[in-house]
Amino acid sequence: MSGLELCRRCENIPYPNLKVVMMSGRADPDEMARMLLNGANDFIVKRSALFSSNRRWKQHCSQDAQDRADLLNSHLLAVNRVMEQTPMAKTAI
């Protein structure tokens, strides 16, 4: 399966925090652009993989953690707003 086919198949996966990182031995700028335009989050050239892959993985993972924290925060704020509207919450304050 090509990288473009993988990107197409990942489009309908219901995981908003899924990261798609492509790796290739060829540094073809057109291929890299096509992958990124079709849903890949990053493209690593194998020649530089040892140096950059650890840094890039950490960057993607930290962004994923931040996205999940933001989602949890917005959910808690929404639940808090609903709780504040209940009659029992108003009398307990």
Residue 48, pLDDT score: 59
Task: Report the C-alpha gap between 3 and 41 in whole angstroms.
Answer: 12
Q: 50 lies in which domain range?
A: 3-92
Domain count, the chain: 1
Instruction: Look up the pTM and report it.
Output: 0.46
pLDDT the model gives residue 40: 86
Q: What is the pLDDT of residues 24-76, one digit of tens each?
A: 777 678 888 888 888 888 887 776 555 566 676 677 677 777 787 788 888 88
Instruction: With a cut of 60, say whether residue 5 has pLDDT above it.
Output: yes
Q: For 28, left (φ over 0), alpha (ψ -120 to 50), or beta?
A: beta
| Length in residues, the chain | 93
